[in-house]
Amino acid sequence: KKIREVDEYSSDNTKRLNIKEMKKLLKKLEEFE
């Protein structure tokens, strides 16, 4: 059970990181246009 909790926590962090990265990429694309 402990491992599952850690797994969910890390995947949660990954999602947050991905959203931040996507926003950064979107801003770069907007500047590029």
Q: How many CB atoms lie within 10 A of CB 4?
A: 8
The model scores a pTM over 0.85:
no
Q: Give percent above pLDDT 70 in the chain.
A: 94
- Measured distance CA(18)–CA(22) in Å, rounded: 6
- Measured distance CA(8)–CA(33) in Å, rounded: 37
pLDDT at residue 3 in the model: 73
DSSP, collapsed to helix, strand or coil, labels residue 30 as helix
Task: Name the residue with higher pLDDT: 9 or 29.
Answer: 29
> How far, in Å, are 12, 13, 18, 19 from residue 28 at the CA level?
25, 23, 15, 14
